[in-house]
Amino acid sequence: MEVQRARVFFFVAGFLLLFGTFQLLLGWFVWGTAGFDRYLAWNTEVASWLLSLLDGSAEATDGTLSTAGFSIEVKRGCDGLQPLAVFFSGVLPFPARWSQRAWGLLVGTVLLLSLNVVRIASLVVIGEKFHGAFELAHMTVWPGLLILAALVAWAAWAMRVLDAEATDGAR
């Protein structure tokens, strides 16, 4: 029982330490840099491409995503990095092999950043078609969904790791 408590304590402490560290690193070295601006522009371009699949009228220019009836500026907070920090903070301290962690980080990163691009594109659609719901979707619904997605992705990865551990232990 004491071993289990220690494992839980070290996981929670590791999660909190890593999440705090990620926030500091994002603030000091990522947000506001030219590389970050290019990343935001890339998100805008991909969201524009997604919207063009629907109706062909989306345009991305200098971090702004526009359709005929609505436009948004993609900036800090629209980047999907906070949910990614939650996911990384859960995977890294979890008791797993490094190969399992690397695979989880890769798949989780692709999943969460792809979902963020879908979020950006959907916000333009919401703003254009349901303007009154834009603020709610932008400030409450989508941020909550992205954090929930990060937690669900981590839980799915952790269950897979634990299942693999149980299977390996049964041999």
Could you read off the pLDDT of 91-110 as tens digits, one per residue? 999 999 999 999 999 999 99
Calculate Rg over the CA atoms of the chain.
19
Mean pLDDT of 21-36: 95
Cα distance between residue 30 and residue 23, in whole Å: 10
pLDDT at 170 (0 to 100) = 61
pLDDT surpassing 70 at residue 2: yes
Q: E strands within the chain?
A: 59-61, 64-66, 71-73
C-beta separation of 22 from 85 below 8 A: yes
Give me 55's structure tokens: 């109706």
